Amino acid sequence: MIILCLNCGSSSVKYRLYNWDERRTLAAGIVERIGIKDSFCEQEVAGKEHIRIPQDCQDHRQALQLAVSTMTHPRYGVIKDMSCISAVGHRVVHGGEKFAKSVIITPEIYKTFEDLSDLAPLHNPPNLMGIKAAQEFMPDIPHMAIMDTAWHQTMPEHVYTYALPYEWYTKYGVRRYGFHGTSFLYVAKRAAVLLEKNPFECNLVICHIGNGASVNAVKNGVSYDTSMGFTPLEGMMMGTRCGDHDTAIDFFIMQKENKSPQEMNSILNKKSGLLGITGKTDMRDIQDAVDRNDDMASLALEMECYRIKKYLGSYCFAVGGAHAIVFTAGIGEMSDIVREKSLQGLESLGIVFDPEKNRIAKTRNSESEISAKNSKVKIFVVPTDEERVLIEDVVHLLDGTYQIHTQFTYRFQDPEYMNTLRCLEFAEECQKKPELLGIMPLIYKKAFLKEVKKQEGLKKRIQQIPDVQKYLPGIEKELN
């Protein structure tokens, strides 16, 4: 059974092709710069050279056509044609209050997503364009929707209700919805594995820090509170979004500079955050500027990390004490500086990080532990895998065994679960940075060693890692 996962953004289409029976990713790729000059498709296949195909794509239909031709290409493709695909899973950002779990897309469901576009005008329209295009290319197979908001439907009423006229909620659905839910679901379940605990006995604070950023308080294994709200604007300082601020400022500036509501909405979503302070949106560029003693870059870095720290502390109290703090997404996975500044000063909460482990933990291919030995709270870095959630939801919707996550167990909750594509890439990373092996959580390390036995290609890469015995004592037994 082969599953195609699609994640359609405003100017990109991410895809993953997965063979469920063989438990392996066939291909992962992305079409970028849709509707912009110089668009292209990049595809990655285990054991093969990465490819990049330049081709202008004016809309999502053309982008999906490029992705299809890449997956089915006679030389670098991985399937003969699209008839090999059993089902398609689509990421949908906003499901409102109507959906607490993934669903098979029917005309009625599609219409509901259209009706919800007012709540997510930047996200749902491109999601829907992707669904429509995919249904054109693959009309005879089921298409499923996996909603980012579904994970947060467990939030209690006193948490999701705003202190605004209550009729705004009853008439227009104004409430906290939260986003990044597919990522939070995956990371919460993986954190429970690393803690070796029942997921519904885990209290976590998860920091999804990327260009878009949010923090999730997970109490007894379900979402209890989250920093994003009615829209993805609330909460953290982000690449271009302002996050929390006094909304009276908006009216003040609208009067002073004669801005329309539409103009102000654009400023808050697209011209604020890191961009508004520094003129840059990429944290790597900002960190480089900090190293050059750029005062505005230093200010922006301190601002973002302080926001993270505030949410970390308050959510630890909200869940009654956290068993683990978890960082994920691009910045959370790769920026030791952001993690360091966000964690400093939390020792009174039992949160103590190891500076050396934190410095090493820069990989999107392995789970890491960066907590100090005397930390009462574990600190993990877990690369997110939203596509994996899509795959499993789609498969079990197909066979009729799917349930809401509180009544369902995912394959990636197995202590021996490994992402085979990531394993190979991780082994290659370790050839240059073998110390990454030394910060794997114990249960993850055991699963990795079992995977080494299974994969001959992985075994060969491990053998090429310098000083491998230093970081993986006893590895010779796995290699023989």
pLDDT of residue 44 exceeding 90, the answer is no
pLDDT, position 101:
87
Tokens at 416, concatenated: 């021996």
Give the dihedral of Cα atoms 135, 177, 13, 112; nearest 10 deg.
20
Per-residue pLDDT, averaged over 44-49, amounts to 78
pLDDT digits (tens, 9 = 90+) for 295-330: 999 999 999 999 999 999 999 999 999 999 999 998
CA 475 – CA 202 distance, rounded (Å): 32
Q: What percent of the chain has pLDDT over 90?
A: 61
pLDDT of residue 413 exceeding 90, the answer is yes
pLDDT of residue 356 exceeding 90, the answer is yes
pLDDT, position 480:
63
pLDDT, position 137:
85
CA 289 – CA 326 distance, rounded (Å): 27
Tokens at 261, concatenated: 């509501």
pLDDT band at 38 (very low <50, low <70, confident <90, very high): confident
Q: What DSSP character marks residue 25? A: E
CA 314 – CA 318 distance, rounded (Å): 6
pLDDT band at 13 (very low <50, low <70, confident <90, very high): confident
Q: Per mean pLDDT, which range of 32-41, 132-141, 395-404 is the poorest?
A: 32-41
Tokens at 38, concatenated: 């110089």
Q: Which residue, among 176, 243, 175, 177, has the nearest Cα to 209 in the 3D structure? A: 243
pLDDT of residue 276 exceeding 70, the answer is yes
pLDDT of residue 361 exceeding 90, the answer is yes
pLDDT, position 161:
98
Question: What residue ranges of the chain are covered by domains with CATH 3.30.420.40?
Answer: 2-147, 181-381
pLDDT of residue 118 exceeding 90, the answer is no
148 catalytic? Reply is: yes
* pTM of the predicted model over 0.95: no
Q: Which span out of 89-103, 376-390, 465-479 was modeled with the highest average pLDDT?
A: 376-390
pLDDT, position 372:
97
pLDDT, position 452:
87
pLDDT of residue 473 exceeding 90, the answer is no
pLDDT digits (tens, 9 = 90+) for 453-469: 888 888 888 888 888 88
| Summary count for the chain: helices (H), strands (E) | 20, 14
pLDDT, position 201:
97
Candidate list 148, 336, 385, 393, residue with the active-site label: 148
Residue 173 buriedness (CB in 10 A; 0-12 / 13-18 / 19+): middle
pLDDT digits (tens, 9 = 90+) for 137-177: 889 999 999 988 999 999 999 999 999 999 999 998 899 99
Sign of the C-alpha dihedral, residues 446, 447, 452, 458?
Answer: negative
pLDDT, position 189:
98
pLDDT, position 478:
62
CA 391 – CA 388 distance, rounded (Å): 5
Q: Which residue, among 182, 439, 216, 178, has the nearest Cα to 319 in the 3D structure? A: 216
Per-residue pLDDT, averaged over 61-82, amounts to 88
pLDDT, position 74:
87
CA 432 – CA 440 distance, rounded (Å): 16
CA 364 – CA 206 distance, rounded (Å): 16
Sign of the C-alpha dihedral, residues 307, 151, 61, 76?
Answer: positive
The CATH number of domain 2-147 is 3.30.300.210 = no
pLDDT band at 349 (very low <50, low <70, confident <90, very high): very high
Q: Are 428 and 461 in contact (CB under 8 A)?
A: yes
Per-residue pLDDT, averaged over 101-112, amounts to 90
Average pLDDT, the chain: 91
Question: What fold is seen in the domain 181-381?
Answer: Nucleotidyltransferase; domain 5 (3.30.420)
Q: Are 353 and 371 in contact (CB under 8 A)?
A: yes
Q: What DSSP character marks residue 2? A: E
Q: Note the Cα 201 to chain centre separation in Å.
A: 23
What stretches of 335-441 show up as alpha helix (H) in DSSP? 336-343, 355-360, 386-399, 420-432
pLDDT band at 479 (very low <50, low <70, confident <90, very high): low
